Amino acid sequence: MKRRFLWCAPWLFVAGIAPAQAERNYATDICSLPVQSGAAPAYKILRMVSSGAPLEIVEPNIQGYTKVKTPEGTVGWIMTQYLMDQPSARSRLAQMETRIAALENENRALRSDSEALNAAREASTRCGEELADVRHTASQTLAIEEENHQLRQEMATSHERQSQLELENATLRDQSRRNWFIAGAGAVSGGLLFGLIVPHLSLGRRRRRWDQL
């Protein structure tokens, strides 16, 4: 009895720590497998699990059987040879296909972002070129405006000079008219004086002649 207890002690220890570790195996992807109530072919089948189903290890391999817990909560025994330490190829294939689909979607999104970025870069380049054209046009416009401003100033200076010249010409014409008027008046006055003096001179000469006779 004592030897039997010593033989069972390691299994009891393993059974005690197994739930804490919550080890997981997977049903083989060959077919559906039975979960039985005991570790022998004659025991009742509790449930059939599909290939690739994740199974929680409750007790390790005992005489070719492992005690497991199904995702639905059924606890029973399954043949150890039908357990795998990784998901089935079918499950991994489905996961890979899902991952590939996600990567393809991500790739399409990245391509779309790249195209949008390229379009934005091209738009930015066009905007830069248009801005350069606008700046060039603006600089030309400013130069034209500056030239027009200088021309307006020159025209204003010319108008002012023309006004001054017209005023000077008007003044000179007035002076010339006054001079001509003064000269004419002087000539008339001289003529009148000459006309008044000459007869007296002639009369005096005649009187002197008569007095000499």
Delimit the domains of the chain by residue range. 2-86, 88-161
pTM: 0.35
Structure tokens at 120: 């934005």
What is the structure's pLDDT at 67? 93
What is the structure's pLDDT at 19? 43
Q: d(Cα 67, Cα 55) in Å, to the nearest integer?
A: 9
pLDDT digits (tens, 9 = 90+) for 64-121: 899 999 999 999 999 998 888 777 666 666 677 888 888 888 888 898 888 888 888 8
Q: d(Cα 94, Cα 89) in Å, to the nearest integer?
A: 8
Please, what is the end-to-end C-alpha distance for the chain in angstroms? Answer: 215
What is the structure's pLDDT at 7? 33
The verdict on domain 2-86 having CATH code 1.25.40.10 is: no
Q: d(Cα 176, Cα 66) in Å, to the nearest integer?
A: 141
Which is higher by pLDDT, 156 or 29?
156
Q: Give residue 180's identity as a one-letter amino acid code.
A: W
Q: d(Cα 122, Cα 117) in Å, to the nearest integer?
A: 9
pLDDT-wise least confident of 60-64, 99-103, 199-203: 199-203
Yes or no: say if 70 and 49 are a contact pair by the CB < 8 Å rule. yes
